[in-house]
């Protein structure tokens, strides 16, 4: 009886784990126009965000998205040191990380006189003003994972 119950529990857990819907992966073309990285290395990883200007068909205005990912602390994306080209990204939508785009990091208005800028621009990118105060759709990369902080 105990063995049968254990097997039944295992089957139920297996079915529920495998039946969870996988997010729809989209292939998106665009160019990195800004990025931010974490100030500290946690669990051997640095945490990054990049803002990508999408390359839509000619009759549709371009839009911006934000992508979160992590890399080992001693690594950085290639576009940090050279002009980013239009690339294809395999992304999935992650609505729970949509936040208002902030331009600076300030602990407390009374403590800091000069806010610390969050976003950096890759070399060779055209001058561009980010839409601070607006919510950008957030995505995660299928190829560059966002590892959890433990």
| C-alpha span between 4 and 103 (Å, rounded) | 58
Residue 5 lies in a domain: no
Residue 6 has pLDDT above 80, yes or no: no
11 or 144: which leads in pLDDT: 144
Residue 55: CB partners within 8 Å, gap ≥ 6? 29, 30, 31, 62, 86
Residue 19 lies in a domain: no
| Confidence band for 147, pLDDT divided at 50, 70 and 90 | low
Per-residue pLDDT, 134: 93
Q: Provide the mean pLDDT of the chain.
A: 78
Per-residue pLDDT, 7: 40
Residue 93 lies in a domain: yes
| C-alpha span between 59 and 62 (Å, rounded) | 9
Residue 137 lies in a domain: yes
Among 71-80, 91-100, 106-115, the least confident range: 106-115
Residue 66 lies in a domain: yes
Residue 146 lies in a domain: no
Instruction: Please state the domain count of the chain.
Output: 1
Residue 45: CB partners within 8 Å, gap ≥ 6? 70, 71, 72, 73, 147
Range of the domain at 30: 25-141
**What's the whole-number mean pLDDT along residues 23-45?**
87
Residue 11 lies in a domain: no
Residue 10 lies in a domain: no
């Amino acid at each position: 009886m105990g063995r049968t119950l254990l097997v039944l529990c295992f089957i139920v857990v297996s079915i529920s784990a495998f039946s969870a819907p996988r997010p729809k992966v989209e292939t998106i073309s665009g160019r990195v126009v800004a990025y931010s990285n974490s100030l500290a290395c946690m669990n051997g990883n640095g945490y990054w965000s990049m803002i990508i200007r999408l390359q839509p068909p000619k009759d549709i205005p371009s839009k911006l998205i934000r992508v979160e990912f992590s890399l080992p602390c001693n690594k950085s994306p290639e576009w940090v040191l050279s002009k980013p080209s239009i690339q294809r990204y395999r992304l999935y939508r992650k609505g729970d990380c949509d936040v208002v785009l902030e331009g600076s990091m300030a602990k407390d208005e009374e403590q800091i006189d000069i806010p610390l800028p969050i976003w950096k621009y890759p070399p060779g990118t055209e001058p561009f003003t980010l839409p601070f105060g607006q919510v950008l759709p957030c995505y995660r990369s299928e190829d560059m994972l966002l590892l959890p902080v433990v």
